Structure 1
């Protein structure tokens, strides 16, 4: 539905697809006890009282559905209610039982469901004003410990995150070095370098090879900036390869991109703002994996927002270094870290290679990790690319968020 609320659109897609291993029906004997109506009324009155003079209420946790339904009825019509739940199985069960009748395609009573707590944070952060206008409260109904842990994390994030202040107009962006790991046989290399032209002042490229390929030099010329080329066989250790690349980069701001990525809408405009922020340690970007075609994005259960730390500072007090041979992680940053929700990266890995190549790549990851951890699937929840780019473009207050330490 074109005019449906984004939370309704997102949740409908997520609940239509079950994560592997999730049970579609409750296991006998595990149903939650029936809530006491008197206790529900007391809990709802407490929230309504706290929500006076507020325009928005975020209720964290769906529970039995009773508190949410009663609150949807008790809040003033002008006050919006969004219920966030990481328990997608319970949400689908309540929907099928008719206990989510207060949720509709439009209107200001919405449910947002996803097993990813990062998605549950990012969607409200992109669409709702956070601050004194919004009450963030945890549903007091009992829930499993792992669900409660996610809800507590969400409450702290939504309560403590703030928008990054606008930079001083007189502050010039610091020079940026583009850092790239590449293979000589990487598909669409020339297109990647052309898409990155103008993002940085210089580049360093580490090739998975014994010698710098001539074809790679030719493709990198499309960057239109000074480029330093290195050659080193990967040998199954991505962290070691990235640390070699990092050591070759001069001190200052680093932008690390992979050849199967492209800067998305807003990325080019946000990057100078980050480069002009004094003391910035790093920045995360949401990554949109295009699949099964260029017009759709994988979503749900951790497939989105797929946050990537790709911009960071290489100078004291930060001492960045990658760890773990596979799914490498950057450590050693010191200082503020932001999340640039208005600057997505486009991930083209499933569009640039066929299933055989992806399967081979996952097998290489397993070999480097020393165990089987990856499986190729052709069935994923997905939403139109326009759904996500429109959210980023329309996000209030330039959604570059200063993250609290608990991130």
Structure 2
């Protein structure tokens, strides 16, 4: 029945009428896109030229992760937690994994948290962003997904569990029950979440892990999750909780994966690139820098990739002499008053240290560690420090996690 049927004494003279309709599917797409954060995806233009592993480096750990991804459906762990200290290269590793898996057509979704981006330092858009990527990869779920959003457009203001139920579990239910994933054994199943510790709220971080556990245990989603973070106390305790028991395995960026050779390769290749491409290359001798200088830079890196990556950015600046910039890094030449060669590293560690609640205890622990032998076991280390300071061992561990 036309709307004009309810009108009386209506006169229409000429005119053109255009009927505008919006399909539920299109309406659902629009709502989902608005709730998503494309800046968090591995191939977002907002993250252009993100850190990733230099060719030929981190090969052992990349191979370890890829073997887990290609593991059989009865793999022991559905979640792999990659953890390590700030500057260890976790985001570069996950970026490289994301690009490898995307090229192989096995990446389902990715989300990169970032404390420096207010749209990515919380899990608000997490599920919507993942759901939008899943629907693009598995179009068979799109109709059910968009219809669900139209029924409940306020879903994005609800809990992570509620969002997963409506945006992922329900739209995929008929596919799971029909054996879609068993039949399509090569279907993408990897969901990658980088930098969980860069979500500032500890309760929200625990909520993300609990939601993943529920999706896997209760709803039996046929996915695997690769998660990276620093080994923050709340994240470690979440993984050790009963909710995540038997679901996960871990991979720590420690001395098991020797980084000295990788850092040497990165520095050697980077300096060679500077000598070949820098506007002042004619003033750079072929022998620059000497092998002893590279050894010094490797030692200063302390096994962490953030140091060499930052200094190469600093040295390769186009408007200054690379040789002079390297002299600043080595302490041979004073930096200009407006020049801060390690500003990025300073900001990173200032954020880490400022997040500690008991500042005095942290300073006391750091003072001891500066003169302490790190080969002593973690339990002995924390026990000795607690005894020396007259503090509880639990407080020492929670203030300054000291993983082997």
Q: TM (normalized to structure 2)?
A: 0.24
Structure with the largest fraction of helix: 2
Structure with the largest fraction of strand: 1
Q: TM (normalized to structure 1)?
A: 0.24
